[in-house]
Amino acid sequence: MKKTPAALKRAEDAILAAKKYGDDDVKYLSALALIYEDRLMFSESKTTWERVLEINPDNLEALAGMARFYAKEVEKNKFRVDLSPLEDEDYFYDENLARYYDTYYLPLYTEPLSILKKGFGKPAL
């Protein structure tokens, strides 16, 4: 069978129809999970492999499918950055940038806050 999108969709439909008669059949679930992988439907594939592992925890094909899923997740997220705030020295490795940060950036944001916290003096009567 060629792995064209239409062929994969037809195969998925056939397996889903056959699965109605044997809901916990590992063979059908495994075939369905492989089709989901080929169709790049990774969350469905993961869910189906998890179902296979619920039925048969030692199923090597399902364990390999889960390994492929997690390998794709690692590959997909390897360039993500941690967006949590870091210390100043973690952001600036260049002395000039650090000096600019201390001279211009910090006063721009900290001085208005300190003015707001102190208030603008006594209200006019």
Digitized pLDDT (tens) for each residue of the chain, 125 residues in all? 456 677 667 766 766 666 665 666 888 888 889 888 988 888 999 999 999 999 999 899 899 899 888 888 877 777 665 555 555 445 444 555 556 666 666 665 555 555 555 555 555 54
One CATH from 3.40.50.300, 3.40.1010.20, 1.10.1060.10, 1.25.40.10 for 5-77? 1.25.40.10
**Token digits for 54?**
């619920």
Q: List Cα–Cα distances, 100 to 78, 93, 107, 108, in angstroms.
A: 31, 12, 11, 11
User: For residues 30 and 52, is the Cβ–Cβ distance under 8 A?
Assistant: yes
Q: Domain segments of the chain: what residues?
A: 5-77, 88-118
* pLDDT of amino acid 55: 92
* pLDDT of amino acid 46: 92
